[in-house]
Amino acid sequence: MNTGRTVFSQAMDFLPTHELDKCVHRYAGNYRIRDFSCRDQFLCMAFAQLTYRDSLRDIETCLRAMGPKLYHAGLRSSVSRSTLADANEHRDWRIYADFAQALIRIARPLYARDDFGVALDQTAYAFDSTTIDLCLSLFPWARFRKHKAAVKLHTLLDLRGSIPCFIRLTEGKVNDVLSLDDLVLEPSAFYVFDRGYTDFARLHVFTQQSAFFVTRAKSNLDFARQTSRLVETASGLRSDQTIRLTGPRTSLAYPDALRRVGYFDVEMDRKLVFLSNNFVLPALIIAQLYRARWRVELFFKWIKQYLRIKAFYGTSENAVKTQVWIAISVYVLVAILKKKLGLDRSLGEILQILSITLFEKVDIQPALATSVPVSSEAESRNQLLLF
């Protein structure tokens, strides 16, 4: 029983505070700070994410309206717009990046056995990026085009559970393929990405480090077929070949054999061709792996709909990265809540319920649990779902 404790306080119990303390100490986050610690900053920003606050003034007004409930929610300092703005501006964003990684390490084992639609024993990741448009006059450090600013969110998503394992925030003009250099490859794991990441020198690194990739082939690929295998055309497969690249540059960048799988997608009414360095999996699994890549697209749409990452509370690079990483922390925290409380709701539903019950003094489990089943006809077709 949690009589007398707010839902917000109970939700924050799932945070590994010792990990946050280590991250704060690592970057001296509380150095010469007497009031409004890094923990207070995190809780204020988490409140803003969970309740869809639009601005610093909005955060200040809503929190001050809670009065004495703030202390019982874990906030030990008074909240002011200027203090929160200064904290976002100057406290190292890496504190919250490291803390998000600590939460990810907790969440991933909880979803390790989840099904993502592909019969695969190994870990599978989807890698992609999304662009967040900004105003050039307010964010001059995030130059994208001549009259436009933007940042890119490069994300590696664990397909089991849709948990982001790697995130890199860059200026909008940074080429997507360069972010492959920052990945720490896991041997025997599968990495799925679209053809925008086709750089054969970088793909050869995957082979050298015993990791597997699945990607789309470009239509102008120069190659020579070595062998072909029989395929079951009723499943949508059209070809399964072993090839070698014959282009003057690509053959040097990737000298090993590649697997080329042709597949006809009935829903999209078009033929797709995939490349992989794995020759063991059935060809249909290769096609299904690429199909599962849509989960990273859904993840981007979901966080833009439910979290505050398109409008920022500060304009500096540090403030933007702080807000993004705390938003990711909140996303992973809600994913942890879902599993540990055994909730039969989507993440979107959990966030919506939290947004109106944060300072209610009720037990969090029954407050978030499914009580009335919702028919499939009543669900909005535009609603984004994860898990």
User: Does the pLDDT at position 376 exceed 50?
Assistant: no
Residues 6 or more apart whose CB falls under 8 angstroms from that of 78 comprise 35, 64
Q: For residue 378, name the pLDDT band (cuts at 50, 70, 90).
A: very low
pLDDT of amino acid 3: 59
User: Does the pLDDT at position 387 exceed 70?
Assistant: no
Q: Residues 207-234: what's their mean pLDDT? A: 95
DSSP conformation letters of 100-144 = HHHHHHHHHHHTTT---SS--SS-EEEEEEEEEEE-TTT-GGGEE
3-state secondary structure of 95: helix
Per the CB < 8 A criterion, the answer to whether 259 and 223 are in contact is no
User: Does the pLDDT at position 373 exceed 60?
Assistant: no
- pLDDT digit string (tens) for 78-103? 889 999 999 999 999 999 999 999 99
Q: Residues 58-67: what's their mean pLDDT? A: 89
Instruction: Give the whole-angstrom CA distance, residue 258 versus residue 225.
Output: 10
- Mean pLDDT in the chain? 91
Please name each of the domains of the chain with its CATH number. Answer: 7-96+312-368 (no CATH), 195-277 (2.20.25)
